[in-house]
Structure 1
Amino acid sequence: MIVTHRIAHAIADGEVTVAYRRWRRPAVKEGQEFHTVAGVVRIDTVNTVNDPLTAADAREAGYSSLAELTATFRDTPGAFLFRIGLSWKGPDPREQLAANTDLTREDAEELDRRLAGLDRQIPWTHHVLSRLAEEPGLVAGRLAGELDIDKESLKRRIRHLKALGLTISLTSGYRLSPRGEAYRDLQR
């Protein structure tokens, strides 16, 4: 589930506790967690909405008016309206991992194994890490062209590097994390 930067921070601050989405079937499950710019958010409830939404519902979801909220809904034929209860779980643990530069030789060897697994079908990880070291802020579209991988597929792949603490997503593009830089230093 995707939320805007503003809504993510409002969830973290406890100001927003629900979201509304129009889907044919629920795209999330109770207990599921997802990462946002403000940290990890938990899906507490997922319920079909049968009654008309109100201005109070819109405010609870972080919107100033019902019109502002309903403007975010996709016009999907056969879709139902769902009310998703949300809570902030805490900071994104990937940020702490990304900041950790105390890599042992064993840590580097484990990263080598993990990257080799990601490169099984198409070698791409070291190229991406090298290019981000050379040009912080490089966007997926340019990287994808260099690798002959479609942009959306590369974005999904780069999320694996982020999960390993090696990259950081910027508003536009990516850069190496301090951990990513330390890993590259050990490779030399």
Structure 2
Amino acid sequence: MLFKREVLEGIVDGRIDRVFRVWAKPPVRAGSTQRTWAGIVVIDSVTAVTPEEITGEDALRSGFADRAALLAALSKSTKVGGYHRVMLHLGGPGPEAELAGKADLTERELGEIEAALDAIDTRSRRAPWTREVLRLIEEHPGLRAVDLAERMGREKLPFKADVRRLKALGLTESLETGYRLSPRGEALMAYLRP
């Protein structure tokens, strides 16, 4: 389940506690979780609803100005199926957030991170890329993903997928626009410099 940035921001600050989707069969269920840049989103319930059951409060708590705006957005969906109300909340930061904040790393820990990068590069179908992406983010914090990808001669979506792999290791952090190295990523880059 994908969330727009403004929806995730609303979940983080507590303004949004539900979203609506058009599904033939819901791909999520109560108790499931989803990792996002904002943290872990917890699905509290998934309920099939008719348009008549969608209220003004539903609209406000899902980030819409009113019921009509929410219904208009749902009617534009190209998916086939019925309307579903998904109640949710932010469960806390993702596991990479704890990693990202840890900059006081031992020589052994730094070596393990370097080995993890080597393993990613070895399995890659193209030339090694992990250190190049880290250097690019280090040199251009906050630069849009599309611009970073262009500097490497790559498409945006595959580039973003690569950055997510580095984020899972706790090495990068997402910003409102672009990325930056996390404290852990900064420690690694200092270690890798000759």
Q: What is the TM-score normalised by the length of structure 2?
A: 0.82
Equivalences, count? 188
Quote how far apart the aligned CAs of 1:67 are.
1.9
Closer, same or farther: CA 143–15 of 1 in aligned 2, 3 Å:
closer
| More displaced 10-residue stretch of structure 1: 111-120 or 32-41 | 32-41
Q: Is 1:165 paired with 2:167?
A: no
Distance between the aligned counterparts of 2:38 and 2:157, measured in 1?
Answer: 23
Closer, same or farther: CA 35–77 of 1 in aligned 2, 3 Å:
closer
Closer, same or farther: CA 131–11 of 1 in aligned 2, 3 Å:
closer
Unaligned runs of at least 5 residues, structure 2:
none
Q: Is 1:127 paired with 2:132?
A: yes
Q: Is 1:75 paired with 2:77?
A: yes
Other-structure match for 1:107: 109
Closer, same or farther: CA 7–147 of 1 in aligned 2, 3 Å:
closer
Distance between the aligned counterparts of 1:116 and 1:174, measured in 2?
Answer: 22
Q: Deviations over 1:142-165 (max 9, x none)?
A: 333344432111111211111111
Identity of aligned residues (%): 39
Would you say the 8 A contact 2:170–2:185 is kept in 1? yes
SS of match in other structure, 2:73: coil
Q: What is the TM-score normalised by the length of structure 1?
A: 0.84
Distance between the aligned counterparts of 1:30 and 1:71, measured in 2?
Answer: 26
Distance between the aligned counterparts of 1:172 and 1:60, measured in 2?
Answer: 25
Distance between the aligned counterparts of 1:143 and 1:60, measured in 2?
Answer: 35
Quote how far apart the aligned CAs of 1:60 are.
3.6
Unaligned runs of at least 5 residues, structure 1:
none
Q: Write the mapping of 1:136-151 to structure 2, written as runs, cut at 5 A.
A: 136-151=141-156
